[in-house]
């Protein structure tokens, strides 16, 4: 079983829809990351959080430490949001990051 | 601001050939990492370094070697390339360990 899992694996949405991507993990963590990988391959860090909620523009990330679960929400989705969204965790007492398999999002005009 | 620079962007190798993937960062980050990304799989750590002169194996180090003679450079060496090494390779760096990564743009390698 992977230490970091994401759902759904693939997601297609109509422009304007509210989107939720889920991440669950099975290890103790010191931080959780959400990253975005565009079709060209570049990877950009969106959020790093260890508790609560963070918001940046139309993106919102939440984490529930007790349930070992995080969600990434996109409001008013747009075709330019089409990308692979990757959840990753920094394990407690471990100086490396474990990456989830990614969720491929396609937003259709 | 160059950030993390990887070269080359694409490469095709024949089985048994060797090559070096270059990675340079200009942010004075101590931590540097090499990952490979296979379709449908999460990024897997190949090697990492916590500072010049220090390197350590990650999850999938077999078939690869690294060196870290300077803070800026962290090249990844493939010896005797095999089809199983066909992948996209990403270099990353961070100032404070597993937080706030900056990624390079990736190298797409095909071994035929």
Q: Which of A9, A43, A90 sits opposite B98 (nearest CB)?
A: A90
- Residues 6 or more apart whose CB falls under 8 angstroms from that of B39 comprise none
**Would you call B100 exposed, middle or buried from its count of C-beta atoms within 10 A (0-12, 13-18, 19+)?**
middle
User: Nearest-CA distance from A78 to chain B in Å?
Assistant: 24
- Note the pLDDT tens digit of each residue in B75-99: 999 989 999 999 999 999 988 766 6
Cβ–Cβ below 8 Å for A45 and B101: yes
Cβ–Cβ below 8 Å for B98 and A97: yes
Specify the higher pLDDT residue, A41 or B7.
Answer: B7
Asked if B67 contacts B55 with a C-beta cutoff of 8 angstroms, the reply is yes
- Note the pLDDT tens digit of each residue in B17-55: 999 999 999 999 999 999 999 987 889 999 999 899 999
What's phi and psi for B5, nearest 5 deg? Answer: -110, 125
A50 touches chain B (CB under 8 A): no
B77 touches chain A (CB under 8 A): no
Q: Output the CA torsion sign for B19, A39, A20, A8.
A: negative
Cβ–Cβ below 8 Å for A96 and B88: no
Mutate to test the interface with B, among A96, A100, A103 (most CBs of B within 10 A): A96
What's phi and psi for B72, nearest 5 deg? Answer: -80, -35
Asked if B32 contacts B92 with a C-beta cutoff of 8 angstroms, the reply is yes
Q: Which residues of chain A have pLDDT under 50?
A: none
What is the model's pLDDT at position B70? Answer: 96
Cβ–Cβ below 8 Å for B103 and A43: yes
A102 touches chain B (CB under 8 A): yes
Cβ–Cβ below 8 Å for B42 and A102: yes
- Residues 6 or more apart whose CB falls under 8 angstroms from that of B41 comprise A101
Asked if B35 contacts B45 with a C-beta cutoff of 8 angstroms, the reply is yes
What is the model's pLDDT at position A97? Answer: 83
């Amino acid at each position: 079983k992977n230490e970091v899992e994401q759902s759904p694996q693939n997601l297609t949405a109509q422009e304007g829809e509210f989107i939720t991507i889920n991440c669950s993990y099975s290890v103790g963590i010191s931080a959780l990351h959400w990253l975005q990988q565009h079709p060209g391959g570049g990877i950009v860090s969106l959020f790093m959080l260890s508790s609560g909620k963070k918001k940046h523009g139309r993106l919102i990330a939440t984490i529930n430490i007790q349930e070992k679960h995080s969600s990434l929400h996109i409001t008013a989705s747009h075709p330019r949001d089409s990308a692979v969204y990757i959840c990753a965790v920094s394990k407690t007492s471990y100086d490396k990051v474990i990456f989830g398999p990614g969720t491929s999002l396609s937003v259709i005009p | 601001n160059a950030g993390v620079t990887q070269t080359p962007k694409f490469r095709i190798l024949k089985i048994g050939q060797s090559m070096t993937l270059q990675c340079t960062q200009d942010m004075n980050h101590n931590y540097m990492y090499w990952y490979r990304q296979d379709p449908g799989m999460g990024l897997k750590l190949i090697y990492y370094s916590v500072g010049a002169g220090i390197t350590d194996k990650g999850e999938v180090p077999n078939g690869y070697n690294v060196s870290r003679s300077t803070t800026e450079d962290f090249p990844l060496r493939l010896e005797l390339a095999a089809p199983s090494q066909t992948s996209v390779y990403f270099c990353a760096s961070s100032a404070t360990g597993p937080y706030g990564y900056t990624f390079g743009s990736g190298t797409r390698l095909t071994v035929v």
